[in-house]
Chain A
């Protein structure tokens, strides 16, 4: 487990009047997925790439598990940090297994150990090893390639992963499926992950915490998705949250967490057990009722509204 600490990290490019990243300080706890969200060109990717030194900071400190990344040999450092990019970047001339075992190979793993690891990871991301390991990337669909991209980043079991809009180039349906699979994976693996996106809804869905960044990567708000949705600190963050903040918050609450009232549930529409409070509300609207069935009990509209704590919505 490795936490990540950014301490007044600045990146100043030559010939530019303002720094691209301006004195950013941030603590990313071990095992958490932190999403950097902000508009294009706000410096979120630059900030992320300074963690594995693809971009060298001009000043400031970056600590990985308490160790200064600038003190480590860059290539050696990167072999221990998983890296996933939007373009996926699978090497077309290497098989799926060869792509996945590239970093283990750089680290000097035996062929046998690498082979086992590659099969294990293909299983993990839901691709049958026997039918996929010897294929070439172009023989896979975009969604399958993205799964391999994630498997490749996980190959050497790095404690830290950097993901740059990894699902950005996929269609909405594939994207949602990849996000769900990835959430399931992360629940199991508990890696420390920095995830960059410009999609606030994706940030809400995936992040343990969200850092909303403004230009020059300055942090507008750094908090849990629930807290940002409930209390955006200013108009800038509120702009990101967008409309329907209450609905977005409800989408974060599984119905399993609702306290149900016992009582007759006859004739009421039933909410599936893995649904969210937002789904329950949706069901009420569709059926024109103010009460739905969840498991053995029921929940009414007031109970769902109360989830939001009422009062201070913007």
Chain B
């Protein structure tokens, strides 16, 4: 593994953070800017953003992978188009609209924000789980069956390990989507970096806007980088 290439992105992200910090701190902040651009406010927004992303991604994994596995079993195949249609709607529907509708029905707050994220970001993991399992060479499954592996053993020891690289690629997409979408959680009082961005827009203060934007981008790219590292470690050798 090329260490220098691995470290290129995080160094770039750190540089972007440092440049933003230096630029913001070189300015004389007015009282409105100072209310947003302070360590406590930024930390809370960033942490709640990470929390929204982490919880939503975890839920996507817990729902989409088992569902994807289920939909590749022979008895459930007729259901596959139905579930995929729903997941496609989730990805295609504007997340903000979905969130607002859910808020009208069930009230505002973090839970609704997370439900929206899961609904909107479930497709990549679901689709890639299905594709990852379906792309396994049928000759390998035949060999496994001919050697006396049970269905469960074939799933656990052949299909799932060989699907890992594709599932992980879907997971990275889901994470990036979640980070981006979590910015709209602010509209239903669920926190996140949207608090900073929306403040920047409303107050027409460029430093606030830039800070929120840069932080969101850095988190998205940083998590994608981490997931890429994780992918290298969980991907079975030999594939």
Contact = CB atoms under 8 A, between A and B. Distances in A.
Interface in B138-183: 139-140, 142-150, 153, 158, 161-162
B147 A103 contact: yes
A54 B148 contact: no
Given A75-B148, A92-B162, A93-B162, A83 B143 contact: yes
Interface in A84-114: 85, 87-95, 102-103, 106
Contact residues on B (Cβ < 8 Å of other chain), bracket: 20 to 34
Contacts of B150: 75
B225 to A, nearest CB: 25
B50 to A, nearest CB: 32
Nearest to B238: A136
Contact of B146 (A76, A85, A91, A93): A85
A80 B147 CA distance: 8
B146 to A, nearest CB: 4
A78 B147 contact: yes
A192 interface: no
A52 interface: yes
Contacts of B145: 54, 78
Contact of B238 (A75, A85, A88, A92): A92
Given A77-B148, A106-B153, A54 B142 contact: yes
Contact of B239 (A54, A80, A92): A92
A78 B137 contact: no
A234 to B, nearest CB: 34
Contacts of A52: 146
Contacts of B148: 74-80, 103, 106
A159 interface: no
Contacts of A95: 238
Contacts of A43: none
Contacts of B237: 93, 136
A177 interface: no
Contacts of B153: 106
Given A87-B137, A91-B158, A136-B237, 16 more contacts: A54-B145, A75-B148, A76-B148, A78-B146, A78-B147, A80-B148, A85-B146, A89-B142, A89-B144, A91-B143, A91-B144, A92-B140, A93-B238, A102-B147, A103-B148, A106-B149
Interface of B: 137, 139-140, 142-150, 153, 158, 161-162, 236-239
Interface of A: 52, 54, 74-80, 83, 85, 87-95, 102-103, 106, 136-138, 152, 162
6 contacts: A54-B142, A75-B148, A78-B147, A89-B142, A106-B148, A138-B238
